[in-house]
Chains A and B, each alone.
Chain A
Amino acid sequence: MTHLRRDDGFDGRGDAFYEQLVAAHRGLTDAASGALNARLVLLLANHVGDAAVVAETIAAARRGLDSGGTGNEQEL
């Protein structure tokens, strides 16, 4: 079974990817940025396709958010 990838999938070009992602949001309102992110998620999830990997991704992304915070609060 394939698992969610944890290592660097950008082949050392992660900084360029991050810059591209931030640039994609430039000039958008917060609501439009939310819409952009939603479309990105749908497109990339479809590209991945594998239901098990998508499920694992959702679980990993959701971790720490159930308390209603952002997951970046001070750890207790």
Chain B
Amino acid sequence: MATYQYRHYPYRTPPELAGTTPARPPVIIVGAGPVGLAAAIDLAKQGIGSVILDDNDVVSVGSRAICWAKRTLEIFDRLGVGERMVAKGVTWQVGRVYHRDRELYRFDLLPGGGHHRPAFINLQQYYVEEYLVDRVEDFPQLIDLRWKHKLAGVEQSATGVVATVETPDGEYRLDADWLIAADGAKSSVRSLLGLAFEGRTFEEKFLIVDVRIAADYPRDRRFWFQPSFDPGQSVLIHRQPDDVFRIDFQLGWDADAEAERQPESAMARVRQVVGAGVNCEYEWCSVYTFRCARLERFVHGRVLFAGDSAHVVSPFGARGGNGGIQDVDNLCWKLAQVVRGEATAGFLASYDRERIHGADENILNSSRTTTFMTPKTVVERQLRDGVLALAPDFAFARGLVNSGRLSKPCDLLGFPGFVADDAAGAGALRPGMPCEDAPVAGADGRAGWLLDHLGTDPVALVFVANRREAAEIADSVAACGIARLTVLAVTERFQGDLPLPELVDADGLVRARYGGAPGVTYLIRPDQHVLGRWRAWNPSALGVAWRVCLGSAKA
């Protein structure tokens, strides 16, 4: 590619074959894609070591996943890579949908202010992986990233996992307590365990082309149904960094994939879109079909599936890469609890439950989009075209036009492990929902963001009116009986010298979003989800809620 130089990461002979004494890692991670790399970093932040095995020695070939949603950026912030992703990425929040040459409607994904991260950035997967690899290198004692190490076998017992690994120096066996399969849609772990991966295949072919366009094209997501400039059914254009544009063409099921993926023929289509006079250079292209499928369970003994190895969706909706990062966010703190012996292995059933829910939501939304985009019968076509024909005049029909329902964080309302809401009506955020961001200032007066103070460890967020209230709370933190609990005091105006870390809510957005009144307390899981909330500080209730979450007490 003209705009990205691939670096070959060095293969190193592993200690198992070099004759030095290998250390048994708690976790093996198969796959150094966004999911595997993020998992290693998240575990390292919990103090848990891992060995990552990757059969290749470069980051993603081709731009692949490019749309990263706000929730993913917030998780990347927690992992220490968000700023770099956003700085390089193209920030966008407006989408425009056209039928032929007419704009049917536009949507603005984040009209409200007071959030650190935008609704979406576009950033090629190779940059995402490169930045994650750089971050991995910040944990040399905890993460051992092994390039050109191919998984050849997996065996597991009640106490651990043994991986057989092939390298340029030969084969070796690697023992660990757990194995995370982050090895993508064609997961070798899944095949080695003989697991069925069932779902629905959609009979449609798409051509995806990356081109560099020097002209100043808009950054909005633009989607055309039945474009006048292309014979296909739909076209999607998205801007990426380095003046690279992603163009998706819906080719139809009968298209000749081999002919369409030739750069000359792909570029002929591109020129119809951008106009003959515009200078554009070919970067990369691919023809794809897709299916929606998932494993029946993500937890198989000591083997844990995350990302595309566990579930795949169609790309319209940006639910593949984002769903995988949310898997990591949900899994790693739980695995850390189990590795440290603070929860039993049974606690991982909550990962299964919660992320199967997330995967099903993603599959449902992307299947609906695909149904709308690829009508299969005369009547489906008539219904679809009827919606498009009514859309200019009828708001309800614009709501039915479906070119992708873009990834939103999924909530876990009513799931086991979350306690009953003891502050109903205090604000929109209920137990099971991901925390909402808001501007805060630290005790040093520096402006920052609420989410930067939450996560990795459990946090209690308490609204306090004065120093006396904060002191009473600080005196009873130990009564919660929650390991590594951080208690943060949210104040309206800077108090100073509080016995708890102070977050000043000068703009009032924390109070507005969390229904904050003095005493209102939120207990927040390490993945920034509300575990429980109370109208008053109640250390024994917090302790029970945490143990209910870990599965060591009943709700």
Contact = CB atoms under 8 A, between A and B. Distances in A.
Interface string B368-391: 100110000111101101011110
Given A9-B396, A72-B385, A15 B402 contact: yes
Chain A contact-residue range equals 20 to 34
Nearest to A30: B378
A9 B397 CA distance: 10
A30 B379 contact: yes
Given A15-B368, A22-B371, A74-B100, A10 B380 contact: no
A6 interface: yes
Contacts of B388: 72
Contacts of A5: 396
A1 to B, nearest CB: 19
A72 B388 CA distance: 8
Chain B contact-residue range equals 20 to 34
A33 B377 contact: yes
Contacts, number: 68
Interface string B107-144: 00000000000000000000000000000000000000
Contact of A7 (B379, B395, B400): B395
B444 interface: no
A65 B372 CA distance: 22
Nearest to B225: A72
A19 B368 contact: yes
Contacts of B288: none
B402 A18 contact: yes
Contacts of B368: 15, 18-19
A75 interface: yes
A48 to B, nearest CB: 14
Contact of A72 (B377, B379, B389, B399): B389
A28 to B, nearest CB: 8
A75 B393 CA distance: 15
Interface string B225-261: 0101000000000000000000000000000000000
Contact of B393 (A6, A25, A28, A70): A6
A19 B100 contact: no
B379 A10 contact: no
A19 to B, nearest CB: 5
B394 interface: yes
B493 interface: no
A22 to B, nearest CB: 6
B393 A60 contact: yes
A21 B400 CA distance: 12
Contacts of B228: 74
Contacts of A14: 396, 399-400
B389 A18 contact: no
Contacts of B377: 25, 30, 33
6 A-B pairs with least C-beta separation: A33-B379, A72-B385, A71-B389, A14-B399, A8-B396, A8-B399
Interface of B: 99-102, 226, 228, 365, 368, 371-372, 377-380, 382-383, 385, 387-390, 393-396, 399-400, 402, 405
